[in-house]
Homo-oligomer: A and B are copies of this chain.
Amino acid sequence: MGRDIANPLLLPEIRQMIAEKDEQGLSEIMNELHPASIAEFAEGLTDEETWELLSHGGEHRQALVFPFFSPEKEVELVEGIGREQMSKLLEAMPHDDRVDLLKQCDEGTVDSLLPLIAKADREDIRRLLTFPEHQAGSVMTTDYATLPPDITVQESLNRLRQQASERETIYYVYVVDDERHLIGFISLRDLVLAKPTAIIRDIMTEDIVSVRADQDQEDVARQMARFDFLAIPVVDDQNRIIGIVTHDDVLDVLQEEATEDIARQGGSEPLGRPYLSVSITHLIRSRIVWLCMLAVAATLTVNVLSIFESTLEQVVTLSLFIPLLIGVGGNAGAQSATTIVRALATEEVSSSDLFRVILREARVGFLLGGTLATLAFVVVWLAFDMNMALILSLSLIAICTLGSLVGALMPILANRVGIDPAVVSAPFVTTIVDATGLIVYFLIARLVLGI
């Protein structure tokens, strides 16, 4: 029967099964539920209970469940059991997931574990650990399936049957020559559909899209999304295959990048871990630098106002509209900045569209400002006087245009010089628009009031 998610009502039952050492029940759970569901149940169990449950499945089954634990749970479990047992589990785990796990553990744990792992796996782990974060190499896995070009489809299927249990995916199979140069690609679907006597070389696709290990993971993810690939091969500078990135990693990468962009647009550094699992200090560190920089930038507004202090003394009413005006300017800037940052991220807009974008945003800002100005003119005229109405309306038009322009210009310029556009975030744009907007406001006021 179709279940939607791990049912929390089952948790007490599982605890009881563990307490009663119900061999059959536990073994059914371990072997028939989806690994992700088992991992979800286990988040509600103690580490001892979790190991008791896991022990009712083989190493292969345990290795499937493990990557679905939260990073914290994984590390706890690793530290809690014998090194011997853990090394067996690591040998059976998908190659990319076990490296992710070891990256979370402290060096002492890793150093004590590695010698117990079979040589080939150990070397594989060491190699994958060397790739810097955010590069394709750091998300790729090395348990992909390959075939030589000169065998039949029948023989290929036999070979895949032998490889399958150790491979993360056998849906995409890569054809390599004796030196592992990537020369072709064939899907399991094509293999199943092909004549059993056909030769791989004759039916493989030679137009392969591949990536390099040092390419940015976001580029790789976008490429896979564009082609709807299940996996993409990673090659070295000799075009030899060294790994693959799979569809589930792409999801993680794109989610992670969106989270980072959103954090930066809110003026804080990405946390890198789930919100509730980071310390208060970590939260403060992710925000304090930006907040200080923005506060220092905001002292510009104090300077601007100091220049116009005499005007303010003469007409105190002017100060009443300061928060409103800079609020509206900031909002207009934030609207265009977030739109353009996202359009750059999803490649709807590129740096070469600079003038087109500027022109659009200038018109949009002018028209938005014009609409607000019309409303404001009437209201302020009634509540204050004609002069204030005129000052405010003109200022709104100028500030909205300014906000939209700066909001669009900053991300594109940042992109051109190679800075992450998300860093030139909405609050940063806001601060610039605040200071310049105030200057415009007071210049208009002096002009209208003749002071």
Contacts and interface: CB of A to CB of B under 8 A. Distances in A.
B36 A367 contact: no
A92 interface: no
A193 B45 CA distance: 34
Interface in A401-445: 426-427, 430-431, 434, 438
A189 B188 contact: yes
Interface in A242-295: 247-248, 250-252, 254-255, 258-259, 261-263, 265-268, 271, 274-276, 280, 283-284, 287-288, 290-292, 294-295
A338 B36 contact: no
Given A225-B251, A225-B255, A305-B319, A372 B295 contact: yes
A51 interface: no
A189 B173 CA distance: 12
Interface string A183-218: 000001100110000000000011111110000000
Contacts of A248: 225, 228
B320 A372 contact: no
Contact of A280 (B292, B353, B363): B363
A316 interface: yes
Contacts of A226: 36, 68
Contacts of A302: 320-321, 323-324
Interface of A: 1-5, 32-34, 36-37, 68, 157, 160-161, 164-165, 170-171, 182, 188-189, 192-193, 205-211, 223, 225-228, 230, 233, 235, 239, 247-248, 250-252, 254-255, 258-259, 261-263, 265-268, 271, 274-276, 280, 283-284, 287-288, 290-292, 294-295, 298-299, 301-302, 305-306, 309, 312-313, 316-317, 319-324, 326-328, 330-332, 334-335, 337-343, 346, 348-349, 353, 356-357, 360, 363-364, 367-368, 371-372, 375-376, 400, 426-427, 430-431, 434, 438
